[in-house]
Every structure is written in C-alpha cells, then in structure tokens.
Amino acid sequence: MGALGRKLAMMSGLTDDEYLRTFDRLNLIEFYPGDIFPNEPARRGAEILRRRLRGRSLILLGSGVARAFNLRISILRWIDFNGGRVAVLPHPSGRNRWYNDPRNRARASGFMRTVTQKVS
C-alpha cells in the first residue's frame, strides 16, 4: 500500500490491513500525465463504474474525479446517485493544501471514521 492508502487508513482509524479489507479501491485512470487531469479517460472509467454502483457507497477523491462523474457537490456529504450514494473527499495527495489546515484534517478524519463505523 502506498502513501495515499496509508493516509486514508490513518484518517479512517484503521490499520493498513484493516483498511485494505474494509474498502474496495479503484483508480479511474491508469496514468496521470503530470499536472493536467486526463478528463476523457476519467469519464470513461466513471461511466463503467456508474453502471456497477447499484446500491453501494462511493467516495470520490478529488474534484477532477467528481467532474468525471458530472458531479459538482460539496465535500464530505453524501448524495443519492445511480441507486447508491456518493461523497467527495479532497484528494489526499501531498500537493493538495486543503489538508494543511488542522480543521480540515479533523473534518476529513471524522467523515472517514463515520464511514468506517457504518461498514464495520
């Protein structure tokens, strides 16, 4: 598991192994070529995933991924979507400065811990 997965596990209050057992993970795109988000490949991946959602919960990481699903929703809130529900979490990469604010880190951790309690 990479740094991103470890950060999400920590925010969820889980060990790395517990996180891997609790959550399914999927990249919409195989390769992110630098600073420009690859919209078309992400939209194709989102369409495939949208058809498979069927009553499941989905957390999208980052605004680019949310746009691939044609969503413009506020972060850390569930909405009904395609027979399931979707929430957007700011992408937890080191490049995203949103997590530099301790209040935002606490909000994201609280959200992920709530999700973890519901799936456990």
Confidence of residue 17 (pLDDT cuts 50, 70, 90): very high
Q: Of residues 37 and 8, which shows the higher confidence score? A: 8
Q: What digits encode the pLDDT tens for the residues 71-84? A: 877 788 888 887 88
Read off the pTM. 0.77
Q: Phi and psi at residue 9, in whole multiples of 5°?
A: -60, -45
Which residues form the domain of 63? Answer: 3-119
Longest dimension (CA), the chain: 37
C-alpha distances in Å from residue 74, one per residue of 22, 54, 62, 63, 116: 25, 22, 11, 10, 20
* Least confident range of 33-37, 39-43, 44-48, 86-90: 33-37
Number of domains in the chain: 1
Alpha carbon separation from 33 to 37, 39, 65, 90, 91 (Å, rounded): 8, 11, 15, 20, 16
